[in-house]
Amino acid sequence: MLEKTYDAEGVEPAIRESWEKADAFRAGAGASADAEPFSIVIPPPNVTGSLHMGHALNNTLQDVLVRFERMRGKDVLWQPGMDHAGIATQMVVERQMMERQEPDRRKIGRDAFVEKVWAWKAESGGVIVNQLKRLGCSCDWSRQRFTMDDGLSKAVTKVFVNLYKEGLIYKDQRLVNWDPALLTAISDLEVLPVEVEGQLWHLRYPLEGNGRSITVATTRPETMLGDSAVAVHPNDERYADMIGEYVVLPLVGRRIPIIADEYADPEAGSGAVKITPAHDFNDFEVGRRHNLPVISVMDAEANISLKNNEAFLNELAPSSKLTHIIDELDGLDRFTARALVVSLLEERELLEKTEDHTHTVPHGDRSNVPIEPFLTEQWYVNAKALATPAIADVKNGRTTIVPKHWEKTYFDWMENIQPWCISRQLWWGHRIPAWYGPDDEIFVEETEEEAAAAALRHYGEETELKRDDDVLDTWFSSALWPFSTLGWPDETPELSRYYPTAVLVTAFDIIFFWVARMMMMGLHFMGNEPFQKVFIHGIVRDEKGAKMSKSKGNIVDPLELIDEYGADALRFTMASLTTPGQDVKPSRARIEGSRNFGTKIWNAARFCEMNDCRPDPDFDPQAVSETVNRWILTEAAKASSEVTVALESFRFNDACEAAYRFVWDSFCDWYLELIKPVFADGSEAAKAETRATAAHVLGIILRLLHPFMPFITEALWKELSAGKDGLLALSKWPAPDFADADAAEEINWLVELVGAIRSVRSEMNVPTASKTQLVALTKDDVLLTRLQRHEPAVERLARVEGIAANGDAPRQAAQIVVGGATFALPLAGIIDFSAEEARLKKEIDRVENEISRIDSKLANENFVARAPEDVVQAERDKRAAYQEDGKRLSAALERLKQAA
């Protein structure tokens, strides 16, 4: 006997164990040899990560699809694994070392540090795997991969070497986004614009020789030390006569030209702009166009660096007597230097004015400090070349993105893609397989031996090589995930079976970081797309719609929700809130609703169990004869079909709704109530058939809901079949193979009749406890037979005692019209004549309104002429039905008046 309520916390571990024991999620589990493959690669969570609501959403959706397809008999692989998360992990370990007051990484050296990271991973990394299991994720856990595994590292190295040899990876000296806190380059995508309240300083630069000056506006006065020109727009009349003149750069004394360049915007600032090629991306371009020197005035930590700075010193005027200024500024951090430069200029009356100015400043997404454009040599991927096939693949529909509007975002970015900076000045990650000779000749090979061999060929003798210190952007290895996890570069059976994957499920915030790059790499190295479909879901927001973040303090921990409501409740909520293209805002009320739904199913099963409804292996739906049973089988088939269609098109919310309505409305509210009289007073044959049907339909329910609520459904499946049917997770998805329109029509009528009686009783304030007779005012034999057939149900559900079919109207009665017949509820002593009169009049009004609405439609010649015939006919039929109802209601009103 089942407990009275479902105990998620108590049941879930045992269910997980039963799945594990049966190895139910191994690739291809339960599938036949000729099964169609269906594979999904998990978006690998960071090894430092723990389950957040975004993971809960993303992985619920994947698990729904995977369980659904597995039950449909496909050969399913859900490939799990984790990402080494270069910067994030390195930061975690460094912080830990700091907390433990251990010497920092530079002191212990690279090898020792990397060893520490591995030790950290072994000890505290990957807690998320168990959390995903708690969520119920049916990944093939035996195939877990890690981006730093030997196999995946081999793939990374090979890809790097191949791309290098194809000329698609190269080294370049240019400005990069430099993170002065983490001391590494980062890619464009890792830079976040942050709005800050700053100032706009207007600096007066004296012209050489003539006592005039030109004013430039800047938000970064400290970079003026590296100015190499002042630019004005060629058409700007204010400055036309200054073009070609020289400015003597204040504080520094350097002579720099005033140049004409369209980059200068006459509307912005003063119209004249200082050009600092080493510290601004735009200025760098201007500098290139005008062949200006690039004078970096900062070091890697963004401190002012002048004294040992050749670029700076070389451009310094020989006569300059500025050593004290250089002394003062040298070594200051950029913000301190900013203040000092401003005050030095102010002293010299070169500060024209200062304005408050709100602008966005690029920040590092990890360090959250302003990033510095910094001139360094880095490794780049020629993303433009790789993007071309990736664009074509989506254009020609080999990969489709759902919802489709995201394709535009994808195209826009891909078509304007910039070189991808892939080198990072970190220690934790895939070390770049490049070795340098003494003359800086580069040898890119997969192993040190091969590099040495290449060097031998090049130099003609053994030469000592030095390996590149940098590691690769974490996303470089993530980009290979769909094939590296399947064994590439080896030609494994898994690779040929499961690549391309069926669908990638992810949130929109990593389309550029990840999806786009997997497309590029997959197409380049595998020759075809990494996934046939990409399903983009929203992100999880809090109840007010705000993005969840630590700083806002609005983080909801999915594990707490699982503790409180069970994994199924959280999953069902996530899935039912997923409408294509919308963000997800889970609320406790909603999760409670899902939990209640689980309880509802639990109790429905409990009812079945109490009535001895056991699954019968020989049950044949087609042989069923009772109308209610044929009706619920029809409804079950309809629900199966709806859930299937919805899941095939990623309409998770529709799938949930169809299942929910079927279970709660059709099965619990009507079917179980309708069969109670059968169990109480039915024939043995009817009872047996009904038991078998109820058990059968409950089985369908458990299977339909299993992808969404795997724990409770598996638990009930086990309970009800006494373990004889194996795991629900490996059972067959229900086929919508039953339809009986007549039974559906009949039960719908019954539902309508019961509903009408209940309504009128409630409106007439008939005490719940009292029962009334029902008099059918009709001589229609078909209807009367039907009524007789359902007499026990009507009596029970509508609180009726005795059904009279004599057609004589009782004197004091409430009357209703259902399915073309009038029914009276004798309510002598209870009936309120005026209330009933008002009620009937209201009904008549409603019907007449409908009729006149239809009449005006039908009177419209254009409607009759242009609307499709079936639409017009439907209106005519409706009108006829309303007219019949109207007649009966009017007759009922007459009888009431006579009685009064």
Partner RNA sequence: GGGCGGUUAGCUCAGCUGGUCAGAGCACCUGGUUUACACCCAGGGGGUCGGGAGUUCGAACCUCUCACCGCCCACCA
Among 322, 559, 668, 899, binds RNA (CB under 7 A): 668
- Alpha-carbon span 873 to 858, nearest angstrom: 10
**Sign of the C-alpha dihedral, residues 639, 645, 648, 651?**
negative
Q: Does the protein bind RNA through residue 741 (CB under 7 A)?
A: no
Do the Cβ atoms of 506 and 515 come closer than 8 Å?
yes
Q: Under a CB-based contact definition with an 8 Å cutoff, are residues 218 and 200 in contact? A: yes
Provide, rounded to whole angstroms, the least separation between the CB of residue 756 and RNA. Answer: 9
537 near RNA, rule: CB under 7 A:
no
**Residues in contact with 689: Cβ distance below 8 Å, sequence separation at least 6, in sequence order:** 624, 625, 626, 629
604 touching RNA, by CB under 7 A = yes
Near RNA by CB under 7 A: residue from 173, 582, 748, 852:
582
Among 52, 70, 430, 606, binds RNA (CB under 7 A): 606
CA distance 427 to 111: 9
Site residues for RNA, 416-435, by CB under 7 A, read 416
Which member of 158, 600, 771, 853 binds RNA (CB under 7 A)? Answer: 600
Minimum distance from CB of 776 to RNA (Å)?
20
Please list every residue from 176 through 215 that binds RNA, using CB under 7 A.
Answer: 188-189, 193, 200
Residue 839: strand, helix, or coil: helix
Out of 653, 812, 883, 890, the residue judged to bind RNA by CB under 7 A: 653
From CA 160, how far away is CA 381, in angstroms rounded? 9
Residue 531 zone, left/alpha/beta (φ > 0; ψ -120 to 50; rest): beta
C-beta of 577: minimal distance to RNA in Å? Answer: 7
Q: Residues of 198-221 as b/e, b for ≥16 C-beta within 10 angstroms? A: bbbbbbbbbbeeeeebbbbbbebb
Residue 111 corresponds to which tokens in the numbers above? 């090898």
CB 770 → RNA: shortest distance, Å? 11
Backbone torsions φ then ψ of 740, nearest 5 degrees = -140, 100
The reply on whether position 599 binds RNA by CB under 7 A is: yes
User: Could you say which residues in the range 460-519 bind RNA, by CB under 7 A?
Assistant: 509, 512
Pick one of 20, 563, 612, 681: the residue that binds RNA (CB under 7 A). 681
Nearest distance, CB of residue 511 and RNA, angstroms: 8
Which distant-in-sequence residues (6+ apart) come within 8 Å of 219 by Cβ? 198, 199, 200, 201, 357, 359
Please spell the DSSP secondary structure of 201-265, one letter per residue: EEEEEEBTTTS-EEEEEES-GGGGGG--EEEE-TT-GGGGGGTT-EEE-TTT--EEEEEE-TTS-
Check residue 85 and give left, alpha or beta (phi > 0: left; psi -120 to 50: alpha).
left
Using CB under 7 A as the binding criterion, the count of chain residues that bind RNA stands at: 90
Q: Per CB under 7 A, does 883 bind RNA? A: no
CB of 142 to RNA, least distance (A): 35
Q: Please tell me whether residue 218 binds RNA under the rule CB under 7 A.
A: yes
| 269 interacts with RNA by CB under 7 A | yes
Give the one residue of 500, 598, 707, 886 binding RNA; rule: CB under 7 A: 598
> Does residue number 360 form part of the binding site for RNA (CB under 7 A)?
yes
Q: Candidates 258-266, 314-322, 378-386, 449-457 — which segment interacts with RNA by CB under 7 A?
A: 258-266
Phi/psi for 531 (5° steps) reads: -155, 145
Q: Which of 332, 273, 285, 270 is nearest to 305 (CA)?
A: 332
- Give, in degrees to the nearest 5, the angle at Cα 434 between 428 and 436: 120
**Chosen residue from 235, 320, 596, 852 binding RNA by CB under 7 A:** 596
> Kind and range of the H or E element at 553?
none
Q: Minimum distance between the CB of residue 614 and RNA, rounded to whole angstroms?
A: 16
Does position 664 bind RNA by CB under 7 A?
A: yes
Minimum CB distance to RNA smaller for 231 or for 326: 231
In the complex, minimum distance from the CB of residue 197 to RNA, in angstroms, rounded to a whole number: 13
Nearer residue to RNA within complex by CB, 317 or 874: 874
Residues 836-865 close enough to bind RNA by CB under 7 A: 860, 862-863
Torsion of Cα atoms, 228 then 233 then 234 then 238, to 10°: -100
Q: Which C-beta is closer to RNA: that of 52 or that of 595?
A: 595
The single residue among 405, 458, 724, 876 that binds RNA, judged by CB under 7 A, is: 405
CB contact set of 311 (below 8 Å; sequence gap of 6+) = 278, 293, 294, 295, 296
Region near RNA per CB under 7 A, out of 98-106, 378-386, 419-427, 871-879: 871-879
Does 745 engage in binding with RNA (CB under 7 A)? no
